[in-house]
Amino acid sequence: MSSAHHLAAVLTAVGSPLEVQERPTPTPGPTELLIEVKSIAFNPVDYMQRETGFHISHEPAILGSDVAGVIIASGSAVTDPVLKPGARVGAFAAAFWEEGLPDYGGMQQRVIVPAANAVALPDSISFNEGALLPMSVATAWTGWYTIGLPLDTAFTPADKQGMLVWGGASSIGSAAVQIAKSMGFSVYTTASVKHHEYLKSLGATRVFDYNAAGVEQHIVTAAKEDGVTIRIGYDAVGQLQSCLDVLKESKGDGVAKLAEAVPMSEESPTVDGVVAKFIAASSDMDEREEQYRFIFNVWLQEKLASGQFVPSPKLRVIDGGLHSVNQALDTLKNGVSGEKLVLEI
């Protein structure tokens, strides 16, 4: 295979297994990067798109959002000095926004990525670890944008401000825990018992077993004991009622806000004094690009370099490269806990 071509896992028809095929290597546009992919991480939306065609308007299509690799070429308008050929990066491939357009899907050896969606990786972070970052960090930050939490939020312990994160062991939840900690919140999160110590190592103040009877009241009681007010919540796993119950009792006199990762409907529960909003990135491309530029080129860049943010959750490598993509998606569909699946290319 020449340098003008590369291998990709291609969705030739919705509902069919992905097929490894050779395809031409594209050239990046002015604000884009061409990345030689070294690692791919998987998300539930990937198998949903494979099986249902959700948000796909191209056939054949290439799926996948989470990649890490080496920049091969950068567009003429890319001025960030760290995003240059040879740089190691994690990147949020635009497969979802481009609705499966092949050049932009992460499940291939070379992919086009907007420069705003890439973060340089310190030498201490492997490609596998770097692939854990993009979607989880972007989705966590999108939650803050959705509910209007200021980007420069910075509390001290004396402020006694808490954040509820339901589902802290998930990839998005573990990112939300770390970001909330960096903002100065006392973080109250839920997970199965086996993940409690890990989440504390990421900055959680208290971790509760979501399987425990009356867990909502346990959280409320703990926050009161700590003298902490919880007016901000992030539901990473779709436990809306539980989050509303906690926030209602822990918000004090103010209005609480909840970022909800699972779509809501007119039948979804509501509580007076708590505003819940479904997490949705801006549909305006320019606004979204500006948000991602802050998330990846500025905030995450700084936090990775300083060690204040670490790739999470734990990773599990699936052997076999691109030929094991379907295996990875099937494994994810069957359920994983406290880990993210990664392929090495």
Are residues 188 and 165 located together in one domain of the fold? yes
Which residue has 């320019």 as its token pair? Answer: 286
The CATH number given to whatever domain includes residue 188 is 3.40.50.720
pLDDT bin (cut points 50, 70, 90) of residue 136 is: very high
pLDDT bin (cut points 50, 70, 90) of residue 45 is: very high
How far separated are the first and last CA of the chain, in Å rounded? 15
Which of 278, 298, 331 terminates a domain? The answer is: 278
Instruction: State how far Cα 36 lies from the chain centre.
Output: 21
Provide the pLDDT for residue 3.
82
Are residues 148 and 264 located together in one domain of the fold? yes
Distance, in Å, from the CA atom of 273 to the CA atom of 61, rounded to the nearest integer, reads 44
HSE at residue 336, side-chain half, CA atoms within 13 A, is 23
**For 30-51, what is the mean pLDDT?**
97
Are residues 80 and 198 located together in one domain of the fold? no
Are residues 244 and 287 located together in one domain of the fold? no
CB 24 within 8 A of CB 34: no
Domain count, the chain: 2
Which of 255, 278, 301 terminates a domain? The answer is: 278
Q: Does residue 1 have a pLDDT over 60?
A: no
User: Residue 122's domain spans which residues?
Assistant: 5-133+283-344
**For 135-146, what is the mean pLDDT?**
97
The CA dihedral of 203, 334, 109, 114, to the nearest 10 degrees, is: -50
- Phi, psi of 343, deg, nearest 5: -110, 140
What pLDDT digit, counting tens, does each position of 222-267 carry?
999 999 999 999 999 999 999 999 999 999 999 999 999 999 999 9
**% pLDDT > 70, the chain:** 99
pLDDT bin (cut points 50, 70, 90) of residue 2 is: low
Residues of 185-214 as b/e, b for ≥16 C-beta within 10 angstroms? bbbbbbbeeebbebbbebbbbbbbebeeee
Distance, in Å, from the CA atom of 89 to the CA atom of 125, rounded to the nearest integer, reads 10
Are residues 168 and 272 located together in one domain of the fold? yes
Are residues 241 and 325 located together in one domain of the fold? no
- Phi, psi of 201, deg, nearest 5: -70, -25
Are residues 187 and 256 located together in one domain of the fold? yes
Are residues 169 and 195 located together in one domain of the fold? yes
pLDDT bin (cut points 50, 70, 90) of residue 113 is: very high
Are residues 28 and 121 located together in one domain of the fold? yes
What pLDDT digit, counting tens, does each position of 149-198 carry?
999 999 999 999 999 999 999 999 999 999 999 999 999 999 999 999 99
Which of 236, 255, 278 terminates a domain? The answer is: 278
Distance, in Å, from the CA atom of 109 to the CA atom of 274, rounded to the nearest integer, reads 45
Are residues 127 and 47 located together in one domain of the fold? yes
pTM: 0.95
Are residues 171 and 235 located together in one domain of the fold? yes
**For 48-55, what is the mean pLDDT?**
94
The CATH number given to whatever domain includes residue 123 is 3.90.180.10
Are residues 40 and 116 located together in one domain of the fold? yes
CB 190 within 8 A of CB 168: yes
**For 12-39, what is the mean pLDDT?**
97
